[in-house]
Chains A and B, each alone.
Chain A
Amino acid sequence: MSAAPPPDRDKVAEEAQLRTVWATPEGWRYWTSVNNTQVGLWYGSAAFAFMLFAGLLGLLIRAQLAVPENDLLSAETYNQVYTLHGTVMMFLFAVPIFEAVAIFLLPPMLGARELPFPRLGAFGFWSFLIGGVFVCGSIFFGAAPNSGWFMYPPLATSEQAGIGADIWLLGLSFIEVASLAAAVELIVGIMKCRAPGMRVNLMPLFAWYLLIVAGMILFAFPPLIAGDLLFEMQRMFDWPFFDPERGGDPLLWQHLFWIFGHPEVYIIFLPAIALLAMIVPTFAGRPIVGYSWIVLAAVGTGFLSFGLWVHHMFATGLPQISLAFFSAASGAVAIPTGVQIFVFIATMLAGRVIFSTPMLFAMGGLAIFVMGGLTGVMVALVPFDWQAHDSYFVVAHLHYVLIGGMLFPVFAGLYYYYPLINGKRMSDRVGRLAFWLMFTGFNIAFFPMHLTGLRGMPRRVYTYPADIGWDWLNLISTLGAAVLGIGMFAVVVDVTLNRRRQPRGEQNPWYAGTLEWISEPEENWGVRSIPRIESRYPLWDQENLAREVKSGAWYLADAREGRRETLVTSVLDAEPEQVLRVGGTSYVTIISAVTLGTVFVALTFKWWIVSLVAGLAFVAAVIWWLWTGTGEIPEKERKDIGRGVSLPLYASGVKSTGWWAMFITMTGDGTAFASLVFGYFFFWTIHQDFTGGVAGPGVYWPMAALSLFAAAWAATVGAREVNRRGGVGAARVLLVIGALASAAGCAAALAGPWTTGMDPTAHVYPAIVWVLVSWAAVHGAVGILMLLYCLARSLAGRLTRRHDMELHNVALYWHFVMVTALVTFGVVGLFPEAL
């Protein structure tokens, strides 16, 4: 497939053009960059910095526990330190670091110029940074959360929890927004932006894993957002969701938290294993053995991980048959997990392994992880778990799983992919030293904790008496932690080392076969031209590929129109479908993140006016962002991308990336809604009379609201159809009708509980009804904004008969709102009648 470019092309000019279009802004404007290379690097550096901060907190914990009756930290400070240690490691390091790596690596790995929504990626990063600094900073004011990283009520709803609990709930909700943004970006990127010919059977395994993980985020994070919402309503306004005296139940929080929390373990673990799936074949010098088996493992783990959450709640008194279901699923998940490890072993056996520094970290990580997996099978068994529950045995288990399954692989990835940042390798000598320090330090620190746990030491105690046999084990753990810390410090030094004098290395220093090694660190354009892919390891199998790509011999080798462009391809066979123009450098992402961040911070301190103003500013910023940056009508229909291929520049409906983004966002939104409905029925199951004798919202208003929402939905779909047939005027009228019907629907929704005088602070039944109808009403209100936005676009000539992407996306949004309305009003209006 090699071909020389036509002679009439001025390739120097082409490159200059591309460089200008993809240029990173200079000076302070550097921070307005949205390119995946910069955003990925910032994202990774921030997550790494948060990890070091949380690591220091971990060392503080170990220092406090080194000797019995220690008074280095007070009990209160200790509570804040361990809570923040866990919270930061999980929410500010483990999840974000994979988003960072993915944003950095995916475009070159898939042969794309950029991910489809670069500004969304940048927005996610800034949200993450602001939320992270806010949560971490709290400890310097003695105001950090102090109830453990899973925030169990009633402790966390009590006065004792202080403002720290609000900081946790609101700060992390904000960060979850960033994760959902990343999920949208990654799913659409992997499904629609692969290089031509990169069929699903040729996709890099990293992409397979990330696709699954992004899908998991959509179903795992929203329950936590729903839980946060209920929790914060209780803390702020005394709605009694978790207060048993008024019909609530603390166990609901545990359910919602762990429906998020257990899949999260795999959301952390799978991307780390994905790194190994890239590293192991390179150093075994052969393709992975059992590609399909890895796909099986990734998909299988993704699903099974949602059937495990109750194994964190074995000691809460649920019926034994319920516990047994989760115990069984916890056993089953060991199958796909084991498959991956055997695939790696088989690949190494079949190849000739080079034990480089990345391989050391990879193998060390696997060894540690297997150990954690084995204790995992132990605590998956209910009777054993009852013995080990809340003891140091669990602390040992979870650190073996997370450090072996995530930290070591991430370090392997760091050593492996570092040359992609600036063309230089990290030091092998330091790397090996760091590995051995970390590996031995880790085992010395955490292995004894199994024993301290079996000897009865509970987790989260700030000190212990001298004479019960925990003292020497704790001292050993602390010494080990210090060695682990020194090892980590060595890596930090190695990363930040000034390498100006080190000569630039080869572009593909490990002789890897996957496409990301084609990227040139000094260029911002991702790939010079987008090749056609014919192998899982194109750099091994497609001779001259790197040279051809670099010489601009492939698709989309120019940026004549001065726009940032990448290719959109079909899901299964990656056939080219569209040239997608992506957003460039902009400060609107920072403004959006800052205003949204202000909303959350202001809410924490109950500054209502500030948060209202910031909220309005955020909505304005987003509308400005959409108006100026999306749905642009191109100056021509098609663009010639070279080699005789010409593609459309505009797509709407199922073919557009925006439609997919809406679909994915609303799937996450629907999951959050389903969690609230779960709450409603949870309260129904635990009470004889779940209404607590309180009058419900009646049937009339919920049914009126449902009818009005249906009218708004029908008007929206009608507007789309009429507009497509050329009836622009009629479409505008329908948009207005839709907005009016929606406004009336929102009012009717709230009128139900309002007219029957339901007091949300009196009992959990009115509270959950209010939450459900408010959820529907807020969605109706957002729907109004969307309809009016379409109307404005139409009036401004930016939405036409042919260019109607916005209308398709808004209609899709309304499909989801219609389902929400059906369920909400059916449940609150009809279900109590059916009893």
Chain B
Amino acid sequence: MWRLLPKEVESLWTLFTAPVVWALHFLLSYVGAAVFCEKPGLLGEDFDNLRVAIGLITVLSLAVIGVSALLAWRQWGFGTGDPPHDDPTRRDRLLFQGYATLLLSGLSFVAVIFTALPALFITECLR
């Protein structure tokens, strides 16, 4: 099953995958809602469509974060080694990166849910 996943990449940037997904999700939700409410008709009339759209990008974002977490978990050796990962070796550096990325995926996962919650409760462009 693991062959479905891409090859492991060694880069500092992978650390930021999940928070970037959160940022995109946040931006899309905010801009979508702002344009919907400021430009009536442009993105449809029914507020529920907006809520469904936010729901869909939320599911998509959570899925991407899930994949990022899975990759991080793999980089962390599926949790076989315990932190603090402070040996001066390439292996410990990789484990540290995996672990930190996994933690960030968790935070981003929660933050995406936080951001999506308003769409559950708010039903109109009330000001």
Please report A residues at the B interface, Cβ cutoff 8 Å: 191, 197, 199-202, 287, 290-293, 295-296, 299-300, 302-304, 306-307, 317-322, 324-329, 331-332, 335-336, 533-536, 571-573, 685-686
Contact = CB atoms under 8 A, between A and B. Distances in A.
Given A533-B88, A534-B88, A304 B111 contact: yes
Contacts of A304: 19, 22, 111
A317 B30 contact: no
Contact of A320 (B88, B93, B126): B126
A335 B93 CA distance: 25
A201 to B, nearest CB: 4
Given A306-B23, A329-B114, A300 B127 contact: no
Contact of B114 (A290, A318, A331, A685): A331
A318 B71 CA distance: 39
Contact of B111 (A202, A292, A332): A332
Contacts of B11: 572
Contacts of A191: 12
Contacts of B111: 300, 304, 329, 332, 335
B68 to A, nearest CB: 13
Contacts of A295: 100, 103
Contacts of A329: 26, 111, 114-115
B83 interface: yes
Contact of A572 (B12, B117, B121): B12
Contact of B84 (A199, A291, A326): A291
Contacts of B59: none
B110 A296 contact: no
Given A300-B19, A302-B19, A328-B114, 10 more contacts: A200-B93, A201-B92, A287-B84, A296-B104, A299-B100, A303-B23, A304-B111, A307-B22, A322-B30, A329-B115
A389 to B, nearest CB: 15
A90 B12 CA distance: 31
B52 interface: no
B103 to A, nearest CB: 4
B90 interface: yes
A774 B107 CA distance: 41
A158 B43 CA distance: 37
B78 interface: no
A548 to B, nearest CB: 16
A296 B114 contact: no
Contact of A199 (B22, B29, B38, B88): B88
Interface of B: 10-12, 15-16, 19-20, 22-23, 26, 29-30, 33-35, 37-39, 83-86, 88, 90, 92-93, 95-97, 99-100, 103-104, 107-108, 110-111, 114-115, 117-119, 121-122, 125-127
Nearest to A532: B88
User: Which 8 A-B residue pairings sit nearest by Cβ, starting from the closest?
Assistant: A324-B118, A201-B96, A303-B19, A534-B88, A296-B103, A319-B37, A328-B114, A685-B38
A199 B119 contact: no
B24 to A, nearest CB: 11
Contacts of A533: 88
A321 B50 CA distance: 11
Contacts of A685: 34-35, 38-39
A320 B99 CA distance: 37
Given A201-B92, A319-B126, A325 B12 contact: no
Contacts of A535: 86, 88
Contacts of B19: 299-300, 302-304
Contact of A332 (B34, B85, B99, B110): B110
Contacts of B22: 303-304, 307
Nearest to B99: A292
A572 B92 CA distance: 12
Contacts of A317: 127
Could you say which of B11, B83, B86 has the most chain A C-beta atoms within 10 Å of its C-beta?
B86
13 contacts: A199-B88, A199-B90, A200-B12, A287-B84, A292-B84, A296-B107, A304-B111, A322-B33, A322-B37, A329-B111, A329-B114, A336-B107, A536-B86
B80 to A, nearest CB: 16
Nearest to A317: B127
A291 B16 contact: no
Contacts of A325: 26, 29-30, 33, 115, 118
A291 B103 CA distance: 12
A300 B107 contact: yes
Given A197-B88, A329-B114, A572-B10, A321 B26 contact: no
B94 to A, nearest CB: 9
A328 B96 contact: no
A326 B34 CA distance: 13
A289 to B, nearest CB: 8
A307 B20 CA distance: 12
Contacts of B92: 199, 201
Nearest to B54: A321
Contacts of A287: 84, 86
Nearest to B39: A685
Contact of B122 (A199, A290, A307, A324): A324
Contacts of A335: 107, 110-111
B97 to A, nearest CB: 7
Nearest to A685: B38
B61 to A, nearest CB: 13
Given A299-B15, A307-B23, A319 B107 contact: no
A515 to B, nearest CB: 14
Nearest to B30: A325
A328 B111 CA distance: 8
A318 B39 CA distance: 13
A307 B26 contact: yes
B110 to A, nearest CB: 7
Given A573-B90, A686-B38, A321 B119 contact: yes
B30 A293 contact: no
B112 to A, nearest CB: 9
A300 B104 CA distance: 7
Contacts of A336: 107
Contact of A328 (B35, B86, B117): B117
B16 A299 contact: yes
A325 B23 CA distance: 12
Contacts of B127: 317-320
Contacts of B104: 296, 299-300
Contacts of B37: 319, 321-322
A200 B85 CA distance: 11
A2 to B, nearest CB: 15
B109 to A, nearest CB: 11
Given A325-B118, A332-B110, A319 B90 contact: no
B115 A328 contact: yes
Contacts of A306: 23
A126 to B, nearest CB: 32
Contacts of A303: 16, 19-20, 22-23, 108
Given A328-B114, A328-B117, A201 B12 contact: no
Given A201-B92, A304-B111, A306-B23, A291 B122 contact: no
A598 to B, nearest CB: 39
A307 B119 CA distance: 16
